[in-house]
Structure 1
Amino acid sequence: MRNAALSGRERAYNYVKDQVLISLPATGAFLNEQELADRIGVSRTPVREALLMLQAEGLVEMVPKRGAHVPAMSGRQIAELMDLRGVLERHAASRTLVAGSAPIAAMRDALAQQEMLAESAQAREFIVWDSRFHQILIDAAGSELLSGTYAGLQARQLRVGLAALFATANRQRHVCGEHQAIIDALDGGDEVLAHAKIDEHLEITLQILLRA
């Protein structure tokens, strides 16, 4: 029973984090535990446990008598997220360039997937590939702690990335161009330029979100 309960909690946690929290309608909403339990195929207990885990991560707020609330990210929180991403991604770029392990081919493959999705209505899938693009660079640095820290930001990254796509026209195409610039800098072995292109990409996204 203990293992079954744990499995249910993990299923609920993954579902809410990967499917519910990144959808734009979820922001500002209250999550219904019974509806989630029915969708996931578990009882309410593992759903409640999962929501408490997500509360500990700052992704939901448990409001007495009302349940789990999905708060909107403030401008400060978004800025802090982009700042942290910049620190981690610049570090990864430097490490991979020094080691000669910049994952050019894998990043190009991820970009190719994004380019195929750029003109479609599959915004969520585009953002999932956006996250993979950046995670590939982080993972190439060869640090489990770095990779784990960055992966832990994924739910927030997907939320803000999706919001940015809907906040400005042709954002998908512009993202692809910004990603190509990062690849080109890494492929040329130019650390300063790689840092600049990472910062430029994150700053553009930040400004779009702050204006939204």
Structure 2
Amino acid sequence: MSRENRTLKAAVNAALDHLGTRTPGDALGSEADLAARLSISRTTARGVLAHLAGAGVIAWEGRDKTLLRAPCPEDRFAPEETAPAQERAEARFLEWILRTDLAPGARINETDLARQIKVPTATVRDLLLNFRTSGLIEKNPNKHWTFLGFTRDYAVEMCDMRELIERAALACLTADPAHPSLPEIREMERLHIALLARDDSAMSEFPALDARFHRIVCEAANNRFFDEFSHRISIIVHYHYQWNKRDEITRNRAAIREHLSVIQAILQGDSNAARGFFDDHLTTARKTLLASMT
């Protein structure tokens, strides 16, 4: 996908976020207004308007632009279609970690991994170097790396930090009834309900959805250190969960329901309930992780 296409699709999603705050029938601003609001060029703004008009979200006749209907989740482009190259590489690496059964002590070759996730070897090296800071991987000679696994003390410390950061982030999210993360939370509700309705074979898709949910919560705090921690912790937690398959389907379905309780409380504006459900979920996540190490 070209950089221009990613820029356009990201701008479409940003425009949909804005239109979600408007009422059908509202007159919309000019191309220049849209370009300024989204920090894009007028050429890209025209592309966004043309796309939205083609999707039936807006009517565009000359200088007149009108919102025809409220945006829906199906109007949005998926995150993998809009993310920068580095983020897409990280997503592929995370997916590889989630889908590959690696036992502690397993070796990873940079060249082989680059071929499997279809990114340059230099990018793989950067990803592994970043992941090494977690303390779960070490560098060996000749482009080889080793997974170390982790101890119970490591897991307890990691859960302590996760709960501290994510509770603070959720407080930021629930404190603002018009928080910019709410459209993503609505999308999370749709995706969780859809996954819960599918059969057990679909439960393998949950770890990636779980990582996305927790990342959205962390990003709501608009704190770069929270974001960095969230990304690393998702790799560690879900790698370990995937390696231990015991009761995987049951615990994934339970986690989906816990997520939905948090999500729906957020969308209903009930901050106390959201925090209570989230505390319950973090407690379950800690117990599940520690039990999986037995």
TM-score (norm 2): 0.55
Matched, 1:114 2:215: no
Return the offset for 1:86: 1.7
Question: What letter corresponds to residue 18 of structure 1 in structure 2?
Answer: L
Highest RCO, 1 vs 2 (Cα 8 Å, sep ≥ 6): 1
| Aligned partner (choices 157, 168, 187) of residue 91 of structure 1 | 168
Do the aligned partners of 2:214 and 2:230 also contact (CA within 8 Å) in 1? no
Please tell me whether the aligned partners of residues 22 and 158 of structure 1 are also in contact (alpha carbons under 8 angstroms): yes
Instruction: Give the CA deviation at 1:94.
Output: 1.5
SS for the counterpart of 1:207 is helix
What runs of 5+ residues in structure 1 fail to find an aligned partner?
1-9
Deviates more, 1:16-25 or 1:109-118: 16-25
Q: Deviations over 1:87-128 (max 9, x none)?
A: 222112222232223545532422332333343424443211
Provide the residue aligned with 1:36 in structure 2.
113
Query: Distance between the aligned counterparts of 2:128 and 2:226, measured in 1?
Result: 26
The total of aligned residue pairs comes to: 202
TM-score by length of 1: 0.73
Farther-moved stretch of structure 1 (191-200 vs 63-72): 63-72
CA contact (8 A) 1:33 1:47 kept: yes
Distance in 2 separating the partners of 1:188 and 1:176: 18
Q: Distance in 1 between matches of 2:129 and 2:174?
A: 40
Is 1:21 aligned to residue 101 of structure 2?
no
Q: Which runs of 5+ in 2 are unaligned?
A: 1-85
Q: Distance in 2 between matches of 1:116 and 1:201?
A: 20
Match of 1:27, SS state, is coil
> What is the Cα deviation at residue 64 of structure 1?
5.7
Report the Cα offset of residue 179 of structure 1. 1.0
Root-mean-square deviation (CA), in Å? Answer: 3.4
Once the two structures are TM-superposed, the CA of residue 25 in structure 1 deviates from its matched residue by: 1.5
Are residue 131 (structure 1) and residue 194 (structure 2) matched? no
Kindly indicate which of the two structures has a greater share of residues assigned to helix: 1
1:90 alignment partner AA: R
Q: Which residue matches 1:167?
A: 246
Instruction: Give the C-alpha shift of residue 178 in structure 1.
Output: 0.5
2:260 aligned with 1:180, yes or no? Answer: yes
Report the identity percentage. Answer: 23
